[in-house]
């Protein structure tokens, strides 16, 4: 049974699946669709048009699906699409897309968006991503599966964050972050090698980790430039899909470059 507290403010245009719970003082706006098992804690705000899959949990004072913070936005119909089993913790903000950015912000499944984190308009978030407290994503950012963005990181618009990467707290990102890497901001942002602990936690075998590490040694610690390192990877590690993913990511980055 759907449970809606009588003190909640719910639009008649909202649609609910089975077992949805809406707490006291929560706000559900026009054209919001909440899938089975979604929970809105007291004073959570969900605005639309927004579509949520199953078992999403929006905590108190989070605002999910708000209008984009973009000067070109003048009320056009844009949306937020959310998968299943995501947690949106207290005071986080997630904005819908803009027409110029494709019209939608997209979030996958099993993500943890911690308190005070922000996801800007037109971002695309994969699955099992962690945004730690206060992580700030500008518009049009792509975050691939299993990435972890630590507390108070600032990400420049249009940045790409590769799968299984880890960005240390307080880091300012102005270039793409390659898959599997561990990035920490000290006086200058640099790559310290692969995210070994994260790869182990995600079930990478020792052989896979060793291969990824060898690829990064070519990129970071050899005397080869990036093009030469990629050619050496192709020659010596042609059977590794992880290495091929790394190569595709680097070669598709255009002029932005990646963090080394």
Decide if 139 is catalytic: yes
* Active-site position among 29, 101, 134, 139: 139
- What count of other Cβ atoms lies within 10 Å of the Cβ of residue 188? 6
Sequence-ordered list of residues with C-beta below 8 angstroms from that of 65, at least 6 positions apart, any chain: 29, 32, 46, 47, 48, 49, 50, 80, 94, 95, 96
The 3-class SS string of 145-168 reads CCCEECCCCEECCCCEECCCCEEC
* Active-site position among 70, 81, 87, 122: 122
Decide if 198 is catalytic: no
Which of 120, 149, 146 shows the shortest CA–CA distance to 132?
Answer: 149
* Active-site position among 95, 118, 121, 164: 121
Decide if 121 is catalytic: yes
- Active site residues per annotation: 121-122, 139
């Amino acid at each position: 049974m759907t449970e809606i507290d009588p003190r909640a403010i719910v639009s008649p245009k909202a649609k609910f699946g089975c077992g949805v719970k809406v707490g006291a003082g929560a706000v559900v706006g026009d054209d919001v669709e909440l899938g089975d098992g979604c929970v809105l804690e007291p004073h959570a705000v969900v605005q639309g048009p927004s579509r949520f899959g199953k078992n999403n949990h929006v905590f108190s004072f989070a605002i999910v699906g708000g209008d984009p913070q973009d000067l070109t936005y003048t009320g056009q119909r844009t949306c937020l699409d959310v998968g299943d089993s995501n947690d949106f913790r207290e005071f986080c903000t997630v904005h819908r897309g803009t027409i110029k950015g494709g019209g939608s912000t997209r979030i996958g499944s099993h993500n943890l968006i911690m308190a005070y984190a922000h996801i800007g308009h037109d971002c695309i978030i994969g699955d099992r991503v962690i945004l730690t407290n206060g992580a700030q994503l500008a518009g049009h950012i792509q975050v691939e599966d299993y990435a972890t963005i630590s507390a108070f990181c600032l990400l420049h618009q249009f940045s790409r964050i590769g799968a299984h990467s880890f960005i240390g707290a307080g880091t300012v990102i102005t270039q793409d972050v390659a898959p599997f890497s561990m990035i920490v901001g000290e006086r200058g942002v640099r790559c310290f090698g692969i995210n070994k602990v994260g790869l182990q936690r995600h079930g990478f075998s020792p052989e896979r980790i060793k291969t990824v590490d060898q690829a990064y040694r070519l990129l970071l610690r050899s005397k080869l430039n990036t093009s030469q390192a990629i050619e050496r990877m192709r020659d010596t590690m042609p059977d590794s899909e992880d290495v091929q993913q790394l190569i595709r990511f680097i070669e598709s980055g255009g002029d932005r470059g990646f963090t080394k």
